[in-house]
Amino acid sequence: MSAGQLKAAITPARLLDEKGRLVRGAPKPDVEALAEGYRKLVFARRLNEQCGALVRQGRLAVYPSSRGQEACQVACTSVLADGDWLFPTYRDTAAIAARGVDPVEVLTLLRGDWHCGYDPNVHKVAPQATPLATQLLHAVGVGHAARLKGEDTVVMALCGDGATSEGDFHEACNFAAVFRAPVVFFVQNNKYAISVPLARQSVAPSLAAKAIGYGMPGVRVDGNDLPALEKVLGEAVARARAGEGPTLVEADTYRIESHTNADDASRYRADDEVSEWLPRDPLLRVRTYLTAVGALDARREEEITAAAEEMAAAVRAGVGGETPVDPEEIFAHVHSTPTPQLAEQRAALRAELEFEEA
């Protein structure tokens, strides 16, 4: 690995600074594409807010918020083609919605249902993974299979910083590098694995630097800088599609809210730490830039806000509906031909239910 490649793995790439100004020498982003990205950022933020409210109302079982990480959520899908795959974690609800899946369907799992709510094959989006890093192995398998079949599919495999401490992360990265699987490992380093800070997880120069050990490129990028994320991830996707193998991308970002509604972040981090990240808000940064170049005004802002409110209203209405329950589903989807014992148990349950209804 050259000195330049090592620097890319440690120093975050950036196009817009924290005040929404173009970094000296950086290429100007496509304004039209950035304006569309801003619309998606607003939608992602509104979805996070709405889901938090639904949890407090008892209409969602749990919601891991991605507030503060919306640029990562939008960028990882905007660089994919229709035939590419996304492998999300439990925190990537906004990314799945940005991929085009109905948010109501996405929230099915977090309402407590047994399935993910959408057809993964239709949307090319795997079910949200709750276990850390297990989805990375699945992602590599899909990518490797596509390569063997001669397809140009690229797989975007998402994980957090905590997942990089798991054995599955190592196995997925090593296999992908050896067999040049078309996978982009996208680590959203939000600084905490639930309550464990990054300093207690790794002493590597950066998480992207771990790519050196696998023999693949590693790139660190400002995770609150939408155009920088799209540039870095876009280059990684192009590299994978060209048959040049995987890339490990680390986004330097921050989880503004608690791990989930069941977590009390005040027990392991200070308010001052959160306050330091608020001015680096990804929405504020893009809004400032677009306004400065004349691509965003009050009228357009109102249109985007109104559309986001319509989405939130549709989520409230959709999540409010009751999901039909079929108790006999507990016997389905295990064996193509049920065993005699399962058939007997199913008949007993059916008889009990019929007795109750009589």
Helix or strand run (H / E) with residue 4: helix 3-10
Here the tokens at position 330 are 């507990």
10 Å CB burial of residue 129 (0-12, 13-18, 19+) is buried
Residue 255 annotated to the active site: yes
Q: Can 118 be counted among the known catalytic residues? A: no
Long-range interactions of 59-63: CB distance < 8 A, separation 24+: 59/111, 59/319, 59/320, 60/107, 60/110, 60/111, 60/319, 61/110, 61/111, 61/112, 62/110, 62/260, 62/261, 62/262, 63/93, 63/110, 63/260, 63/261
Q: Are 80 and 86 in contact (CB under 8 A)?
A: yes
How far is 308 from 315, CA to CA, in rounded Å?
11
Catalytic residue among 138, 255, 285, 287: 255
DSSP assignment string, 234-254: HHHHHHHHTT---EEEEEE--
**Cα–Cα distance for residue pair 179/260, rounded to 1 Å:** 37
Task: Give the amino acid at 95.
Answer: A
Contact assessment for residue 15 and residue 224, using Cβ atoms and an 8 Å cutoff: no
Q: CA-CA distance, 63 to 93, in Å (whole number)?
A: 9
Question: What is the crossing angle of helices 226-241 and 31-56, to 10°?
Answer: 100
Residue 12 main-chain phi, psi, to 5 deg: -65, 130
Catalytic position from the list 220, 259, 280, 287: 259
Q: Is residue 91 among the annotated active site residues?
A: no
Which residue in the list 39, 180, 268, 269 is annotated as catalytic? Answer: 268
Question: Residues with catalytic annotation?
Answer: 255, 259, 268
